[in-house]
């Protein structure tokens, strides 16, 4: 039986790279896509393929999908993992910077989905795994643009199920909790650049302290817990609509559903004091 062909975006680091390596070890044919091709040397060394892929450039996305189809004849699984978190006060962030966040986290994911759907529809099978976050259910200070994109991913994926599941294509959400990918350091640089010297500087200082000096109980899970969830989304005969995994991956969304809005807001503010 021919190996399933998997295309993973954002495969140069973190969850994307871990997923590529784990799926290769499990016997899948894996294509990793990212702007930093050199950062995917571990994937090629493990028998995978590295593609130059920028999900904000349409020609790059078309070329990547076309390349895989020309070589393999099919794409069985798309893992829409590429994305990043834009943090800073809405008042401080320019529309140019905000559009880059939307282009990457929303339009890149949507366009990659469009590009693989015709082949999946023709073969009568396929899985599209969209990487969301607990940030698609809960909210934190200074993350309005990031959370907005992840809320979109959840709504987009749920709506797509109604369009394509009857055609044998499963839309699956994977929502990581807190994962140890160095996000705290990145957040510190990002939030300082955007809002560190403005009217929200006091809140920025608290956010940086909370992100870079977490208590042991807040240490993130290893990316492999998300790779394992992605694999379940690929291999389960009838996958769940959403797989949650990682530190607080279940607890925080549950609390968000149970608590009144202002009670949850108070809890978030207290966590960064």
* Whether 217 is catalytic: no
Contact criterion met (CB below 8 Å) for 146 and 86: yes
* Whether 146 is catalytic: yes
Residues forming beta bridges with residue 173, ordered by sequence position: 130, 242
- Would you call 199 exposed, middle or buried from its count of C-beta atoms within 10 A (0-12, 13-18, 19+)? exposed
Q: Which of 28, 31, 87, 146 is catalytic?
A: 146
* Whether 250 is catalytic: no
CA 248 to chain centre: 17
Contact criterion met (CB below 8 Å) for 184 and 211: yes
- Would you call 97 exposed, middle or buried from its count of C-beta atoms within 10 A (0-12, 13-18, 19+)? middle
Radius of gyration of the chain, Cα coordinates, nearest whole angstrom:
19
Return the number of other C-beta atoms located less than 10 Å from residue 194's C-beta.
Answer: 22
3-state helix, strand, coil in the chain (%, to 5): 55, 15, 30
Q: How far is CA 69 from CA 65, 75, 115, in A?
A: 6, 7, 11
Contact criterion met (CB below 8 Å) for 164 and 58: no
List CB contacts of 188: < 8 A, sequence separation 6 or more: 208, 211, 212
* Whether 150 is catalytic: yes
Q: Which of 132, 133, 221, 227 is catalytic?
A: 132
Q: Which of 150, 195, 243, 247 is catalytic?
A: 150
Using the Cα atoms of residue 74, residue 80, residue 81 and residue 82 in order, give the sign of their dihedral: positive
Contact criterion met (CB below 8 Å) for 134 and 173: no
- Give catalytic residues, as residue numbers: 12, 132, 146, 150
């Amino acid at each position: 039986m021919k190996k399933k062909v998997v295309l993973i975006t954002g495969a140069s680091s973190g969850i994307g790279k871990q997923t590529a390596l784990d799926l290769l070890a499990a016997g899948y044919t894996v294509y990793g896509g990212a702007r930093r091709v050199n950062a995917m040397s571990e994937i090629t060394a493990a028998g995978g393929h590295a593609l130059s892929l920028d999900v904000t450039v349409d020609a790059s996305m078309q070329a990547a999908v076309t390349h895989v189809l020309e070589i393999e004849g099919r794409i069985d699984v798309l893992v829409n993992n590429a994305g990043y978190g834009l943090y800073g006060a809405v008042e401080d962030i320019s529309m140019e910077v905000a559009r880059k966040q939307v282009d990457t986290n929303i339009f890149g994911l949507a366009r990659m989905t469009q590009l693989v759907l015709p082949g999946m529809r023709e073969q009568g099978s396929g899985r599209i795994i969209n990487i969301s976050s607990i940030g698609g259910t809960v909210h934190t200070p200074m993350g309005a643009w990031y959370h907005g994109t992840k809320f979109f991913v959840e709504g987009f994926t749920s709506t797509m199920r109604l369009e394509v599941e009857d055609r044998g294509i499963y839309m699956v959400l994977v929502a990581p909790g807190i994962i140890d990918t160095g996000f705290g350091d990145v957040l510190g640089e990002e939030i300082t650049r955007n809002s560190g010297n403005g009217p929200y500087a006091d809140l920025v200082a608290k956010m940086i302290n909370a992100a870079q000096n977490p208590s042991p109980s807040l240490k993130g899970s290893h990316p492999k817990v998300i790779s394992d969830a992605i694999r379940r989304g690929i291999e389960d005969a009838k996958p769940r609509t959403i797989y949650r995994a990682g530190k607080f991956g279940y607890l925080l969304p549950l609390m968000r559903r149970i608590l009144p809005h202002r009670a949850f807001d108070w809890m978030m503010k207290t966590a960064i004091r």
